[in-house]
Amino acid sequence: MRLSRYFLPVLKENPSEAQIVSHRYMLRAGMIKQQAAGIYSWLPLGYRVLKRIEQIVHEEQARAGHIPLLMPTLQPADLWRESGRYDDYGQEMLRIKDRHDRDMLFGPTNEEMITDIFRAHVGSYKDLPMTLYHIQWKFRDEMRPRFGVMRGREFLMKDGYNFDIDKDAALHAYNRHMVSYLRTYERMGLTAIPMRADSGPIGGDDTHEFLVLASTGESEVFYDAAVTDLKLGAREVDFDNRDEVAGICKEFTTLYARTDETHDAALFDQIPEDRRKVGRGIEVGQIFYFGTKYSEAMGATVVTPDGSKVPVEMGSHGIGVSRLLGAIIEASHDDKGIIWPEGVTPFPVGIVNLKQGDASTDLACEGLYKALKAKGLEALYDDREERAGAKFATMDLIGLPWRITVGPRGLANGVIELTSRRTGESEEMSAEAAVDRVVQIYEGHR
Ligand code: ATP
Ligand code: MG
């Protein structure tokens, strides 16, 4: 992408409405524009990151064997009357009437609708296990929308629903989600800690929230510092192997890590003092096992091998896709701007032309741009007639992890400069070597 032809409306001044760094940088980097309280347009740069995050979510769901579909944003109230939640949900639900005076709502979540799909089309144990998910906009009329995309009213969520023949199978689905979520967040450069939580209005016995540690997080968290060292890494997981998947969950949930809702001071005191931490966290996902709560209320049954009919066992599992942009920035920035992890960056690398209009620098930049493109990497090429300082400031603000700087002085010696946004360290090398290096860095990320 050539910056001269892109739409990147960066702001020089700090927007006064933004109280936390991620909101401030998302506005300044021209990623989002507020349209109403808690409702945003996703401008091109923000949209690119949102799509990257969605793609990682899809890839990791596929790896766990989960099936994508798409349900509508608008739902008929009657479905929610069946579960009893139409009256229970309260003012967070946006209620709408259509021209025939029928009650509709903008979905805050999809348990009822997915149960309706299941009961219409599935009836036998032979079709199970089955996990369906979608990535769709939700609306919750939050009392206090704030912090930009972190607590929006309209927000993008991945929500998945498992259907299983018995409780053991449903608990395996729960564990499978925990492990696939761990990998999902790690690919985004995040440490998201599964913490035992309270189930709230969805109801159920088992639930964990995934929290990213950040001083601006809305939840108070209590944890053993050793949990932050746990990593799934590159391990191959056989998602059908119940013991293996349960073993990984055990590894990640044995050390103390809880939000204030389930905090237990007596247990917390047993942690060695130097590892006992109180902090704040951002909830980026949650998994629930709730058994037959919805299937019983809505008559979603399956025939078992012995011929009896039982309500199907279920759980639901969510990832805050749009909130993740804020969480990643909270976890990865400095005083100049965002520092995108390679997994989610909008562009893998930026090219800064220090002397636009100079035939040899222009030619070298074009050559780099095309060589990267031929390797499947779309650079953001700053080809504007701008001072070098302004170009660097823009690159630092929008946070591409790597920058290639091209100027006449270096070119005279046959070199360009490759700079890491995270460390600020630069290295001189030939243009070919820089392309190879960037290609190598992104192996495994795209
Ligand atoms: P919170 O406690 O933050 O209000 P929740 O527990 O009500 O969230 P869930 O029903 O668990 O939310 O939804 C799944 C995920 O969707 C959450 O973990 C969070 O990442 C995201 N999410 C929830 N509400 C919002 C919101 N208002 N804006 C952006 N993301 C949200
Ligand atoms: Mg939650």
- For residue 88, the number of C-alpha atoms closer than 13 Å in the C-beta half-sphere is 11
By three-state DSSP, how is residue 106 classified? strand
* Position in ligand 1 atom list of the atom nearest CA 210: 18
Q: Domains in the chain, start-ordered, CATH in brackets?
A: 3-338 (3.30.930.10), 349-443 (3.40.50.800)
Range 79-92 burial, b when 16+ CB lie within 10 A, else e? bbeebebbeebeee
| Residue nearest ligand 1's atom 15 by CA | 320
What are 117's two structure tokens? 């799909």
Which residue reads 């009836």 in tokens?
123
Nearest to 212 by CA among 286, 312, 283: 283
Q: Which long-range contacts (CB under 8 A, 24 or more apart) does 267-271 make?
A: 268/222, 271/224
Report the C-alpha gap between 173 and 317 in whole angstroms: 10
Q: Which ligand is nearest to the CA of 109?
A: 1
320 lines ligand 1 (CB under 6 A): yes
The model's pLDDT over 335-385, given as tens digits with 9 standing for 90+, comes to 999 999 999 999 999 999 999 999 999 999 999 999 999 999 999 999 999
Are 191 and 182 in contact, with CB atoms under 8 Å apart?
no
Which residues contact residue 164 at a Cβ distance below 8 angstroms, ignoring those fewer than 6 apart?
A: 128, 129, 170, 172, 173, 312, 313, 314
152 lines ligand 1 (CB under 6 A): yes
320 Cα–ligand 1 center, Å: 6
Residue to substitute in 323, 328, 329 for testing ligand 1 pocket (most ligand atoms within 8 angstroms of CB) = 323
156 Cα–ligand 1 center, Å: 10
Residue to substitute in 39, 136, 286, 290 for testing ligand 1 pocket (most ligand atoms within 8 angstroms of CB) = 286
Q: What is the pLDDT along the chain (446 residues), one digit of tens a residue?
A: 999 999 999 999 999 999 999 999 999 999 999 999 999 999 999 999 999 999 999 999 999 999 999 999 999 999 999 999 999 999 999 999 999 999 999 999 999 999 999 999 999 999 999 999 999 999 999 999 999 999 999 999 999 999 999 999 999 999 999 999 999 999 999 999 999 987 665 555 689 999 999 999 999 999 999 999 999 999 999 999 999 999 999 999 999 999 998 999 999 999 999 999 999 999 999 999 999 999 999 999 999 999 999 999 999 999 999 999 999 999 999 999 999 999 999 999 999 999 999 999 999 999 999 999 999 999 999 999 999 999 999 999 999 999 999 999 999 999 999 999 999 999 999 999 999 999 999 998 86
Classify strands 350-353 and 380-382 as parallel, antiparallel or unpaired.
Answer: parallel
DSSP structure class, residue 218:
S
Q: Count CB-CB contacts under 10 A for residue 254.
A: 11
What are 60's two structure tokens? 């990791």
337 lines ligand 1 (CB under 6 A): no
| Residue nearest ligand 1's atom 13 by CA | 318
